Amino acid sequence: MATTTPLHRIVTPLLSEEVPVREAIVTVLEQAGIDMIFGMPGGNMGVLYNALYDHRDTIRCVLVREEARAGVMAEVYGRLTGKPGVALGQAAFIANVSMGAIEAHLSSSPMLILTDLSDNAPFSQHGPYQSGAGEYGSWDAPRLFSAITKATMVANSPSHAVQCTQLAIKHALSGEPGPVAVLFHSHSLRGKVGPHTRPALYSLDAYLPNAAPPADPAAIEEAARLLGKAQRPLIIAGNGVRVSRAWQELVALAEVLGAPVTTTGGGKGTFAETHDLALGVCGNFGTPLANAEIPQADVILAVGSKLAATDFANENPRLFDPRRQSLIQIDIEPKNASWVFPAAVNLIGDAKTVMSQLIGALSAVDGLSLQEREVRRRRVHAARQEHGFFNAPQLSSDAVPILPQRVIKEIQRAVPDDAMVCCDAGENRIFMAHYFQTKAPDTYLQPAGVGGMGYAIPAAMAARLAYPNRRAVAVCGDGGFAIGMNGLMTALDENIPITVVVLNNNALGWVRHGQRERNIACDFGNFDHAAIARAMGCHGVRVEHPRELAPALKQALAADQPAVVDVRTSLDESFLRVTSPLVGG
């Protein structure tokens, strides 16, 4: 779906004849280019599912086994496609989408939550059952959803229900994208709407945001001047590059400057770490290379990042200090600019558009010679030799139980360059962020906003639906697998072939290692997750020796069905190994 519209809009009515309100709502979804909905029928949402029955050729309804999976799938689908990912279900249970909604809120993913108040009108205030209307004896659904979304709307009439759906899509896409919830009062889903409805109903395109905004030309000129005279410029890429789909512009800008590129945790996957200017992830769990190069930079360009404390070793001035380094910040949300660190120049606008502006402006500045750019590339190469770069000895270890690093190296070798790798929460995600080397942009995703367990499996399913011709791999720990494994049933039901790799160390690794010698409530039994997968009907294989990894991964990736590779991993490796010494002060 194009999220831009011509500057001159031709306003047309939404409807030419009177139709049930449910039909008008589905028409709005179609106009938004929404082709997939994740959820579970129930309550008054059965009304919308009834309408969707007649639109199965344009909108696919993916039935989940539990609403939290719908929330993650909607968030990931929105983040990867730029269209609002839709989670649909009854409010009393769709509240389970909270993990996906919070991730969307913190990671700027367009998302639409469509649910009801279960208000049982006209008996809304008489001994309520399930009701979320916020009246006496009921729970307050609007208050709950407003706490985890960009905006929450309550529709009270048929025309209002249609308009709320339209405005929810507008708000989900405008400025910094995010999740928006529409809660339908039962009255709003009854009756009809048409060309004579008041308030009048117009086609959705009149409400969609205009073209991606550029930055102020004077600010672009100043930023280009600073970058042009910089001795050691450096780029920090955040999740905003992904949201803007600005991978090509990021590469072009880095190469024009000869500037090395590091990414935040949320930005990992926006710049191929096989590129000769790549530094890997920065911050608390960043590569030694990235954390060594940032302090050497005189001008830093941060693109689409909120510059979280975890991305800067808890704001350690030995990593970055705006008193001795100049920061240029690109962000579409003005409130995010100079939020954490004062920037010398703030470029408010869409990352893709603003980087294109910068590339053009740099051509007008006394630019870098090819020789100077080559000097900078050689400097990055030398720094890799000094600090290491995805070549830790643990990656090649033959130890048994298998080191997580060895598993990660084998995954990297096995997956196609364009495969979408989706991570979970916990220690396994920290290892992946640190040791997994991305081979192309738009190939890696993790819950870097809320960091919820159980994310990887539904994320991989959504990625495979968004990119049906690419492999999708979920990497999780045994804790995350236990939370998300009902997603395998959905993968089977919906014919979504994903590969799941479980780093199985019988523990909540991050918790256990963080507790040091006082371990409590962190150990699991020895479960065979491959056997569980086979019992469901998936391909499943258990791996206990490093030599078994490559053939197991090859078979799983080739399987035309959901597949689980359960790897017995060592507890000897800890997140402490990859925690930067800068975190301590």
Please report, to the nearest 10 degrees, the dihedral formed by the alpha carbons of residues 348, 352, 353, 354 taken in order: 50
Domain match, 381 and 397 both: no
Is residue 31 assigned to a domain? yes
Lowest mean pLDDT, pick from 3-12, 32-41, 509-518: 3-12
Q: What is the pLDDT of residue 7?
A: 54
Q: What is the pLDDT of residue 16?
A: 95
Domain match, 109 and 82 both: yes
Instruction: Give the mean pLDDT of 290-311.
Output: 97
Is residue 283 assigned to a domain? yes
Looking at 387, 407, 440, the residue that finishes a domain is: 387
Is residue 545 assigned to a domain? yes
Domain match, 168 and 228 both: no
Helices (H), 121-216: 141-146, 158-173
Q: Residue 204 in contact with residue 166, Cβ under 8 Å?
A: yes
Lowest mean pLDDT, pick from 27-31, 262-266, 366-370, 536-540: 366-370
Tally of structural domains, the chain: 3
Lowest mean pLDDT, pick from 172-181, 324-333, 369-378, 527-536: 369-378
Domain that holds residue 158: 19-206
Q: Residue 224 in contact with residue 190, Cβ under 8 Å?
A: no
What is the distance between the alpha carbons of residues 340 and 336, in angstroms, rounded to a whole number? 8
Residue 425 has pLDDT above 60, yes or no: yes
> Which of these, 205, 248, 246, 240, lies nearest to 2 by C-alpha position?
205
Residue 131 has pLDDT above 60, yes or no: yes
Is residue 12 assigned to a domain? no
Is residue 14 assigned to a domain? no
Instruction: Give the mean pLDDT of 302-306.
Output: 97
Q: Across all residues in the chain, what is the average pLDDT?
A: 95
> The CATH number of the domain where 228 resides is what?
3.40.50.1220
What is the distance between the alpha carbons of residues 346 and 219, in angstroms, rounded to a whole number? 7
Is residue 112 assigned to a domain? yes
Question: CA of 254: how far to CAs of 189, 261, 376, in Å?
Answer: 52, 7, 11
Domain match, 36 and 66 both: yes
Residue 132 has pLDDT above 70, yes or no: yes
Domain match, 184 and 88 both: yes
Looking at 150, 171, 206, the residue that finishes a domain is: 206
Is residue 169 assigned to a domain? yes
> Which of these, 529, 483, 470, 471, lies nearest to 505 by C-alpha position?
529
Lowest mean pLDDT, pick from 122-136, 246-260, 315-329, 536-550: 122-136
- pLDDT digit string (tens) for 159-212? 999 999 999 999 999 999 999 999 999 999 999 999 999 989 999 998 898 778
Confidence of residue 2 (pLDDT cuts 50, 70, 90): very low
Q: What is the pLDDT of residue 572?
A: 95
> The CATH number of the domain where 467 resides is what?
3.40.50.970
Lowest mean pLDDT, pick from 90-99, 250-259, 518-527: 90-99
Confidence of residue 584 (pLDDT cuts 50, 70, 90): confident
Is residue 182 assigned to a domain? yes
DSSP 584: G
Confidence of residue 363 (pLDDT cuts 50, 70, 90): confident
Q: What is the pLDDT of residue 3?
A: 45
Domain match, 536 and 478 both: yes
Domain match, 57 and 180 both: yes
Q: What is the pLDDT of residue 5?
A: 46
Percentage of the chain with pLDDT > 70? 98
Q: What is the pLDDT of residue 124?
A: 79
Residue 4 has pLDDT above 50, yes or no: no
Domain match, 348 and 400 both: no
What is the model's pTM?
A: 0.95
- Helices 351-362 + 217-229 axis angle, to 10: 60
Domain match, 514 and 427 both: yes
Q: What is the pLDDT of residue 244?
A: 96
Instruction: Give the mean pLDDT of 32-50.
Output: 95
Looking at 361, 387, 413, the residue that finishes a domain is: 387
Domain match, 293 and 333 both: yes
Domain match, 356 and 455 both: no
Residue 386 has pLDDT above 90, yes or no: yes
How do strand 192-193 and strand 19-20 relate by DSSP bridges?
antiparallel
Q: What is the pLDDT of residue 271?
A: 98
Kindly provide the residue ranges of all beta strands, DSSP E only, lying in 446-583, ordered along the sequence: 472-477, 499-504, 539-543, 563-568
Confidence of residue 83 (pLDDT cuts 50, 70, 90): very high
Which token pair is 574? 């800890």
Report the chain's C-alpha Rg in angstroms. Answer: 25
Domain match, 355 and 460 both: no
What is the distance between the alpha carbons of residues 285 and 266, in angstroms, rounded to a whole number? 12
For residue 475, report the phi and psi dihedrals to the nearest 5 degrees: -115, 120
